[in-house]
Structure 1
Amino acid sequence: MMKRLSPWNLGATLYMPATRTDIADAILTSKVEGLRSLVICLEDAVSEEDIPEALNNLQILLETLAKAKAASGSAHWPLVFIRPRDVSMGARLVKTMNLSPIDGLVLPKFTLASLSAWWNFIEHTHLCMMPTLETEEVYDVEQMRQLAILMFGHPCHERIIALRIGGNDLMNVISLRRPRHLTLYDGPMGYVIKMLVSVFATRGFALTAPVCEHIDDHDIMDKELALDMAHGLVGKTAIHPNQITKIEAALRVSDNDYADALRILNSSQAVFKSLGAMCEPATHRRWASAILERAQVYGIISDRGNGGIVRVPLSQQNQG
């Protein structure tokens, strides 16, 4: 069975300001359909003057979740993370609040220089990490290469579920905002995402896609999601519940890809043709394994558009 904290279980990660008072309902009552992961945000989504209110709400929420967990367990919950404002707030949360119901922290403005400060107080907890790459250093491929090498050999490696790409913050660094009629890939972020995938995915780190802030433009969302999948990203930040079904749909595996993946993992041939394309198990095996993992979580959808979603039990995924 796939680990609960697998990056494939993130799906559409919904960000909710910690000032909201309905977060417990979203976690405990399936109020938000299809929600797999949620981030309680104390950073950009909360103004400075509202921090005391947000922290008070968080304290009440944690007490509510702790009681619910003690009563019935939490295996059915979405993954729940907190995004503190900075390192000092993160350390304060760990020291003063009961974070036992929480799966991990989203680390804002994460850099090579801040890794040790975050790890100093996370190391001795159960918390996993989702560092966010969103500062000017991200544009420097050499700095990203150094960060990837350091994290790969660091004890934190086992705690990192995925790296989050902070699209809006990265655009802000260069004084830009995504045009309404273009995907994020049509501007400078297209290069940045490609570079980050090249640097981090080659070392086994999963990456998630930035938010699409044009909430009502479903055509742009669909185009962007197709590019997210083409770049191997494992999920996407959502800022509105109506984006969740779109992201879930993009993460479903086509029946053709699923069939190819099974053939690749079970074939004794070095090269063969499938559905008009060359399949080469020696070079396509890692792709095929990822396809089966996605299918296990999100199901299979027909390429011909004439079938429903098929869920794939792990027992049926013969990987040879």
Structure 2
Amino acid sequence: MEYKSRGGQKRDWEKEKLAYGVGPLMYTPAIQESAAEGVIERKYGGSYSLCFCLEDSIRDEAVGQAEKQLEKTLGEICEAWRAGQIKNEELPLIFVRVRTPGQLEQLGGKFLAYSDILAGYVFPKFSVSGGRDYIGIMKRLNEKNGRKMYMMPILESGDIIDMRTRKKNLYAVKDMLDEAGDMVLNVRVGGNDFCSYFGVRRRMDESIYDVRAVSKILTDILTVFSRDYVVSGPVWEYFAGDRELWKKGLEREIRMDLLNGFIGKTVIHPNQIPVVNSCMRVRKADYQDALSILDWEGDSLGVAKNNGGERMNEKKTHTTWAKKVLKLAEIYGVNDDENI
């Protein structure tokens, strides 16, 4: 069963649905000359989001070159879209990951010319220090622009590592994001950055949840943010290899992501896109249970067996879960195969 949106650009979906629809966000270096071609020729399909990176993927001495190439890339994509070479449903959500508030200030106004195809910006190492600068610039950009420009902060800075200050800093960041309001589309996490602080790296048959120090940080982030924001899962490094071990490892980690409350995934290769989209599809039993819970009928009982007769549904307890399931089903579809 498929549940796909019809109509205009994906970025014009209402904000709550769009937050769930970011899905696999593929990073590509902004300096890459063939990036526009990949979008225009639909090499990766349309069921993904794209982030042009000006940060870690670009050497310091090449930042100026990357900025010029990015402006050219955005211009080519925008021109192709306006000419009808790219249909609305084929255009991915497009973001730019900047290095600093200063770079956002420098590029943001200039890039408003591409707001037809640019959905917003991603902010690395977002923290109490510098966070308000990003938010202030985004507010000014939105005041100038006719279409909403979104922001997606990445929580990956060192001040989250220290347990003595973690709680204080996480809640301070949340207060800032709450003030930013509808500009915040997703909260993202930097799994590799956290791993680097501890000098560890997972193999294909290991998940981020096996790295206990890092999984504790991710748990704390979810505890603080996931009730009010869609929080996206950390990057998976592997995209090729014998016997598709990388794929099985990615599927395993996404299952754990979803169980813990993450929605979506950062990806670094086109091979990963269909895997993420497949894993985001809802199990048929979950979909049917969600419908039953949100359309509860009966006597005074608030608890009942599900349609399959194998588990309990409780209206009050499972309503939030059911709403999430239906949002995912609408965007990603439903799996008829219960073994998936």
Instruction: Tell whether the structures are fold-level matches, with TM greater than 0.5.
Output: yes
Offset from partner CA, 1:221-250 (integer Å, 9 cap, x none): 121011011112110001111111111111
Aligned twin of 1:141: 167
Going from structure 1 to structure 2, the CA distance change for 1:150 and 1:86 (only over 3 Å counts) comes to closer
Q: Does 2:283 match 1:270? A: no
Alignment of 1:199-238 (within 5 A): 199-202=224-227, 204-216=228-240, 217-238=246-267
**Aligned-partner residue type, residue 169 of structure 2:** Q
What is the deviation of 1:68?
A: 3.0
What is the deviation of 1:180?
A: 4.5
Structure 1 contact 135–173 (Cα < 8 Å) conserved? no
Of 11, 14, 19, the match for 2:23: 11
Aligned-pair RMSD on alpha carbons? 2.0
SS in structure 2 of the partner of residue 124 of structure 1: helix
Of 134, 149, 164, the match for 1:118: 134
Alignment of 1:4-43 (within 5 A): 6-43=18-55
Aligned twin of 1:315: none
Going from structure 1 to structure 2, the CA distance change for 1:293 and 1:137 (only over 3 Å counts) comes to same
**Aligned-partner residue type, residue 45 of structure 2:** E
Higher RCO (CA < 8 A, seq sep 6+): 2
Offset from partner CA, 1:239-284 (integer Å, 9 cap, x none): 1111111111110000000011001001134111113111111111
Number of aligned residue pairs:
303
Aligned twin of 1:173: 197
Structure 2 contact 177–184 (Cα < 8 Å) conserved? no
Going from structure 1 to structure 2, the CA distance change for 1:180 and 1:141 (only over 3 Å counts) comes to farther
What is the deviation of 1:137?
A: 2.1
**Aligned-partner residue type, residue 131 of structure 1:** P
Aligned twin of 2:145: none
**Aligned-partner residue type, residue 194 of structure 1:** T
**Aligned-partner residue type, residue 124 of structure 2:** P
Q: Does 2:88 match 1:75? A: yes
CA distance in 1, matches of 2:326, 2:186: 19
Gaps of 5+ in 2: 142-147, 241-245
**Aligned-partner residue type, residue 217 of structure 2:** V
What is the deviation of 1:301?
A: 0.5
What is the deviation of 1:71?
A: 3.3
Please identify, of 71-80 and 39-48, the stretch whose mean Cα deviation from structure 2 is larger. Answer: 71-80
What is the deviation of 1:305?
A: 4.6
TM-score (norm 1): 0.89
Aligned twin of 1:290: 324
SS in structure 1 of the partner of residue 83 of structure 2: helix
Structure 2 contact 74–114 (Cα < 8 Å) conserved? yes
What is the deviation of 1:302?
A: 2.2
Of 289, 310, 313, the match for 1:279: 313
**Aligned-partner residue type, residue 83 of structure 1:** R
What is the deviation of 1:47?
A: 1.1
Offset from partner CA, 1:287-319 (integer Å, 9 cap, x none): 10110110011111024359xxxxxxxxxxxxx
What is the deviation of 1:65?
A: 2.7
CA distance in 2, matches of 1:91, 1:18: 17
Aligned twin of 1:309: none
Offset from partner CA, 1:40-95 (integer Å, 9 cap, x none): 00101111122222111111112223323433486321000000121111111113
Structure 1 contact 34–245 (Cα < 8 Å) conserved? no
CA distance in 1, matches of 2:305, 2:38: 46
CA distance in 2, matches of 1:135, 1:165: 10
CA distance in 2, matches of 1:157, 1:136: 25
Aligned twin of 2:144: none
Please identify, of 268-277 and 69-78, the stretch whose mean Cα deviation from structure 2 is larger. Answer: 69-78
CA distance in 1, matches of 2:284, 2:193: 37
SS in structure 1 of the partner of residue 122 of structure 2: strand
**Aligned-partner residue type, residue 89 of structure 1:** Q
Of 84, 89, 92, the match for 2:106: 92
CA distance in 2, matches of 1:224, 1:256: 21
Structure 1 contact 182–220 (Cα < 8 Å) conserved? yes
Offset from partner CA, 1:6-31 (integer Å, 9 cap, x none): 12211111100011112212322311
CA distance in 2, matches of 1:131, 1:99: 21
Of 153, 158, 166, the match for 1:131: 153
Structure 1 contact 209–228 (Cα < 8 Å) conserved? yes
